Amino acid sequence: MNREQELAEAFVSLSDTFADDVDPTVLLDRLTGHCVALAGADAAGVMVTTRHGTLRIMSVSNDATALIDLVALQSGEGPCPDAFRSGQAVEAADLAQREGSWPHFVAAARAAGYTGAYAVPLRVHEQPIGAVNVLLSSGRPFASGSLALVQALADVTAVSLVSWSPDEGRRHDILSQVQTAVSAKATLEIAKGMLAEKHRLTPAAAQRLLVAHARHRRQRPIEIAKALVDRKLDPGALAAVAPSTEH
């Protein structure tokens, strides 16, 4: 598959809100994956705003604890809050030069091996609803074309995010839709914890098991997660669908 085909498929995957296996968490996971695979980032994360205006982590490109902690740290400082507040892209090719602005973030990022950090707003009609963070560990600057690609991917995802609704034909205002995504993420994390405890899995393996079961049932992952949290589905029932899931 050539570059043009890869880009076309990426944008289609981010705009498909009607597929049975798509929900807000799936869309945001796809976004971080594309930021790494297509834009050349070493890692990526997405944060969205809560009703109180604070940023909450929604997706990371891998489950490394250092990356999760680093993105979560940006609830107070870092490229994501700056991009969210300004509505503009933030570039820090050399994190050492941002120690005065983001002391805690820079220290954590450099300790995790990252040398550069960038962020673009996640926005709908110029209204920021979050931010996308990309990280580099090679010491090279992020090409301007790559950052523009991240923004384009983020723009498509943001529109899909606020267009998705669990109720067919129903749409809400932008902020309400974002909160739907936040709630879905919380439900998914609880369900992953239940599966991890039941089957002695890592969080990543628990998510793979949940997604595999959803695909097998032709349902969205959030629907399976909600059934688990509501005690309508036994965590033990998922084992038969994906017996090869790694521990």
From the CB of residue 8, how many other CB atoms can be counted at a distance below 10 Å? Answer: 12
Report the alpha-carbon distance of residue 230 to residue 246 in Å, rounded. 26
Q: Alpha carbon of 194 to those of 68, 197, 200, 229: distances in Å?
A: 20, 5, 10, 8
Q: Alpha carbon of 215 to those of 19, 68, 94, 220: distances in Å?
A: 11, 26, 42, 7
Residue 196: its pLDDT value, please?
A: 87
| Average pLDDT of the chain, as a whole number | 84
CB-side exposure of 105: number of CA atoms within 13 Å?
A: 26
Domain boundaries, the chain: 3-166, 177-238
Using CA of residue 215, residue 216, residue 218, residue 224, what is the dihedral sign?
Answer: negative
- pLDDT score of 73 more than 70: yes
b/e string for 178-192 if b means 16 or more Cβ within 10 A?
Answer: bbbbbebbebbbebb
- pLDDT score of 182 more than 50: yes
CA 38 from centre of chain: 15
| Per-residue pLDDT tens over the stretch 198-240 | 888 888 888 889 888 888 888 888 889 889 989 899 998 887 5
Tokens of 41: 């980032």
* Range 109-116 average pLDDT: 92
* DSSP for 191-206, written as a single string: HHHHHHHHHT--HHHH
CATH level 2 (architecture), domain 3-166: 2-Layer Sandwich (3.30)
Q: Where are the alpha helices (DSSP H) in the chain?
A: 3-15, 24-37, 65-72, 79-86, 103-111, 144-163, 174-199, 203-217, 221-229
* Contact (CB, 8 A) for 58 and 130: yes
- 177-238: which CATH number, 3.30.70.1050, 3.40.50.300, 2.102.10.10, 1.10.10.10? 1.10.10.10
* Contact (CB, 8 A) for 77 and 101: yes
pLDDT band at 176 (very low <50, low <70, confident <90, very high): low
pLDDT band at 168 (very low <50, low <70, confident <90, very high): very low
Using CA of residue 84, residue 57, residue 157, residue 1, what is the dihedral sign?
Answer: positive
